[in-house]
Structure 1
Amino acid sequence: MTEFPKILMIIGGTLLLIGFFMQFIGKLPGDLMFKKGNTTVFFPIVTCIVISIVLSIVFSLLGRFK
């Protein structure tokens, strides 16, 4: 039962970080948005690159601890 609080803290911290970064998704310089009439096309190029880098670092760190 001593692992349960630790797991809850890890889940809470992860959700906090995800919520913080979700505020900036789609608002980075380099994300393209085209509007014409009723149509909007959005290409989150820089956002995808940032997410890819962050996930690569996280999975690299997790792989070292196994």
Structure 2
Amino acid sequence: MRNIAITTILAGAILVILGLLMLAAAGRELSWRLPGDIHLRGRNWSFYFPIATCVVISLLLTALLNIIGRFLRR
């Protein structure tokens, strides 16, 4: 039961930090369009698929979860 409580507290803390970062970034023009993202435009349509952005976010989340996992194992 203690592990569930710690995991819930950590998840809540991460969500609070993420929310604060989103509030701080709301007024700024942050461009997540990285080289490697696909952006196609036609006359009446547009298609955007952020492949490079997905890879970067995946790497960051993997590193973060590994760090959290190491702290929980102690």
Instruction: State if a TM-score over 0.5 links the two structures.
Output: yes
Structure 2 gaps of 5+ residues are 1-9
Runs (4+) of structure 1 exceeding 2 A deviation are 10-17
TM-score, length-normalised on structure 1? 0.65
| 2:62 is aligned with 1:56 | yes
Specify the alignment match of 2:19 in structure 1.
Answer: 15
| TM-score (normalised: structure 2) | 0.59
Q: Which has the higher strand share?
A: 1
Aligned equivalent of 1:24: 31
Correspondence for 1:41: 47
SS in 1 for 2:47: strand
Structure 1: gaps of 5 or more residues:
1-6
Distance 1:50 1:64, change over 3 A: same
> Aligned residue pairs: how many?
54
Q: Partners in 2 of 1:48 and 1:42 — Cα distance?
A: 12
